[in-house]
Structure 1
């Protein structure tokens, strides 16, 4: 029982030790435009989605918009890098994605292009788009207008870039991405649930299930920073932990697959300030 108590304490402590302060979650990638603040109405969002899908069909590039309340405790550059890594924006080997992040309550905005678009959207151009198209509209509260103007400029810049043509028959990515995240959540649920089923083998089955689900959910959130993935892992962990039989004989798997736009990780870049709003664009690393 001492081992069980120690393991449970470790699972509860790991997220705190790793983050110190809970990181803002990365939303599930279910659309070219993800707005967790409700700032954009349905018509505004649909127009932006169609613009992004048309660009991908025409050029192969991915334009992604994300509106969140805050990126704290990370600054917007760190958060954008984490989103870029998890969403894998841009075609693999081409790195031709661009991510526009608006942190509404923080009054911060960032444009993050991949290496494949470094000629079309260098740092200086990204900052000009922010200064000339986003900030003036945002100051007056017209978030939809600012995002629409900025993405229109980005589309024109990408259209002028010499990029590999889309593969013949390539399907435009529709909502329902993030396959890697869901697979990781499923694997974490199976692994943690099976492990805790053995540790708490003498505990009543309902208690064993609750502990397995809680441990799996915490572990999944540690790895993905996504509440939906954490919930999935918790459910799987609960089911696995409640199974009867000798621990370790359980084997399972499966998951959801999703197309990936490829890409890598980017960060850095200059800052921009004006009228209380700030932002920037940049690249470092990537692959």
Structure 2
């Protein structure tokens, strides 16, 4: 029987074409990871407004406030807005961005990320390991629901973000009870601006409809007759001709209601802090 020729190691080595093909395949497999990393914005300051929803004056005030708080407490708060999450859930995105930026001090993990994605109508407060016991998930949820959501629904992104930062600082400074009390008051009243508008609308139309009906009937029942078709009631004179009513003194009702609410630096970087996914998310 003829002996089969042995194949040496050199014969098994891939040729240049095969090596090039393998490298191309590896690059192709890694492309999604590269694209994912590229989707994270660069940390350019304490406020990274890539969505462009914060006006210049509000951004400058925010940067100054966050810088002063960090100098006083060493806790690092960063605000960022991105146009869209591109289909990704906000929780893993926020945690990934927090870790990439290294917010807070290494070993202390005292960083906080406030992120808003306007096109997806999503927001999140991501809390570093070291602050989870102070700014709890409940506190983050209260800030989102009672401060950010109402402002965002009204289109006031800058105001909602600014007041949310104020609430975060309030809790970190040891005044969480004030935030909780405010949330209880909001829950007890349960009255919103939309509720007030509906009540005013119904009241005005009720006055116009039932008020006109009352003035057409009640003077003739309870009023004092002055003459043919003429009655005095509630200090006013009413005249009736062929079932219609006219008055020598006009009647008008007006109502007015007004409501108003008022509420970067370079060379900035994180300190190597990390987060384990603590915080809360919301939508509007």
Greater C-alpha Rg: 2
Gaps of 5+ in 1: 162-172, 179-259, 278-287
Asked if 2 retains the 8 angstrom alpha-carbon contact of 1:37 and 1:67, the reply is: yes
Asked if 2 retains the 8 angstrom alpha-carbon contact of 1:36 and 1:69, the reply is: yes
Task: Label 1:68 to 1:122 Cα distance change in 2 as closer, same or farther (>3 A).
Answer: same
| Correspondence for 2:43 | 29
Alignment coverage as a number of residue pairs: 180
Between structures 1 and 2, the one with greater strand share: 2
Residue 12 (structure 1) shift:
2.9
- Of the candidates 78, 85, 90, which is equivalent to residue 76 of structure 1? 90
| Correspondence for 2:266 | 175
| Cα RMSD for the two superposed structures | 2.4
Task: Label 1:32 to 1:265 Cα distance change in 2 as closer, same or farther (>3 A).
Answer: same
Q: 2:143 & 2:280 partners in 1: Cα distance?
A: 13
| Correspondence for 1:104 | 118
Asked if 2 retains the 8 angstrom alpha-carbon contact of 1:89 and 1:264, the reply is: yes
Residue 8 (structure 1) shift:
3.0
Asked if 2 retains the 8 angstrom alpha-carbon contact of 1:32 and 1:63, the reply is: yes
Pair 1:262-2:272 in alignment: yes
Please identify runs of 4+ aligned residues in structure 1 that moved more than 4 A. Answer: 21-24, 268-273
Task: Label 1:270 to 1:160 Cα distance change in 2 as closer, same or farther (>3 A).
Answer: closer
| Correspondence for 2:29 | 13
Corresponding residue SS for 1:92: coil
1:89-148 superposed Cα distances (whole Å, 9 cap, x missing partner)? 111121111110101111011011112222321011100000110000000100000001
Asked if 2 retains the 8 angstrom alpha-carbon contact of 1:29 and 1:175, the reply is: no
Q: 2:60 & 2:49 partners in 1: Cα distance?
A: 12
Corresponding residue SS for 1:263: coil
Residue 9 (structure 1) shift:
3.9
Moved more, 263-272 or 112-121: 263-272
TM-score (norm 2): 0.58
* 1:144-159 mapped onto 2 (5 Å cutoff): 144-159=158-173
Q: 2:281 & 2:45 partners in 1: Cα distance?
A: 28
Q: 2:29 & 2:126 partners in 1: Cα distance?
A: 33
Task: Label 1:152 to 1:72 Cα distance change in 2 as closer, same or farther (>3 A).
Answer: same
Asked if 1 retains the 8 angstrom alpha-carbon contact of 2:79 and 2:115, the reply is: yes
Residue 22 (structure 1) shift:
5.0
Residue 174 (structure 1) shift:
5.4
Q: 1:76 & 1:57 partners in 2: Cα distance?
A: 29
Q: 1:40 & 1:128 partners in 2: Cα distance?
A: 22
- Of the candidates 56, 62, 69, which is equivalent to residue 48 of structure 1? 62
Residue 268 (structure 1) shift:
5.7
| Correspondence for 1:213 | none
Asked if 1 retains the 8 angstrom alpha-carbon contact of 2:127 and 2:278, the reply is: no
* 1:200-279 mapped onto 2 (5 Å cutoff): 260-267=270-277, 272=282, 277=284
- Of the candidates 67, 74, 77, which is equivalent to residue 60 of structure 1? 74
Q: 2:60 & 2:280 partners in 1: Cα distance?
A: 31
Pair 1:122-2:136 in alignment: yes
Residue 71 (structure 1) shift:
1.6
1:203-245 superposed Cα distances (whole Å, 9 cap, x missing partner)? xxxxxxxxxxxxxxxxxxxxxxxxxxxxxxxxxxxxxxxxxxx
Residue 43 (structure 1) shift:
1.2
Residue 25 (structure 1) shift:
1.0
